[in-house]
Amino acid sequence: QKEVEQNSGPLSVPEGAIASLNCTYSDRGSQSFFWYRQYSGKSPELIMSIYSNGDKEDGRFTAQLNKASQYVSLLIRDSQPSDSATYLCAVNPGTYKYIFGTGTRLKVLA
Amino acid sequence: SAVISQKPSRDICQRGTSLTIQCQVDSQVTMMFWYRQQPGQSLTLIATANQGSEATYESGFVIDKFPISRPNLTFSTLTVSNLSPEDSSIYLCSVGDRGNTEAFFGQGTRLTVV
Summarize pLDDT for A39-65 with one digit per residue, the tens: 998 999 999 999 999 999 999 999 999
Band of pLDDT at residue B98, cut at 50, 70 and 90 = low
Q: Is B2 on the interface with A (CB under 8 A)?
A: no
How high is the pLDDT of residue A23?
Answer: 96
Residue of A nearest to B99 (CA): A94
Is residue B16 within 8 A of residue A73, CB to CB? The reply is no
Is residue A105 within 8 A of residue A40, CB to CB? The reply is no
Q: Is B92 on the interface with A (CB under 8 A)?
A: yes
How high is the pLDDT of residue B37?
Answer: 94
Residue of A nearest to B42 (CA): A102
Greatest alpha-carbon span in chain A: 41
- Percent of chain A predicted with pLDDT > 70: 98
Question: What is the rounded average pLDDT of the residues A10-29?
Answer: 95
pLDDT at B71 over 80: yes
Mutation target vs A (from B102, B104, B109; most A CBs, 10 A cutoff):
B102
pLDDT tens for each residue of A56-104: 999 999 999 999 999 999 999 999 999 999 999 999 877 777 889 999 9
A60-69: long-range contacts (C-beta < 8 A, 24 or more apart)?
Answer: A61/A35, A63/A33, A63/A35, A65/A33, A67/A28, A67/A30, A69/A24
Distance CA B12, CA B102 (A): 31
What are A13's strand-pairing partners? A108
Distance CA A52, CA A62 (A): 13
- In B8-105, beta strands by DSSP E: 10-13, 19-25, 31-37, 43-49, 56-57, 68-72, 75-80, 89-96, 104-105
- Residue B106: list chain A partners with CB under 8 A: 43
pLDDT tens for each residue of B34-66: 999 998 888 999 999 988 888 999 999 999 999
- Residue A96: list chain B partners with CB under 8 A: 31, 48, 96-98
pLDDT at B99 over 60: no
Of residues A34 and B29, more confidently modeled: A34
Candidates B85, B90, B79; CA nearest to B10 is: B90
Residue of B nearest to A88 (CA): B42
Indicate yes or no: CB of A34 within 8 angstroms of CB of B43.
Answer: no
Cβ-Cβ contacts under 8 Å between A and B: the total is: 52
Is residue A45 within 8 A of residue A38, CB to CB? The reply is yes
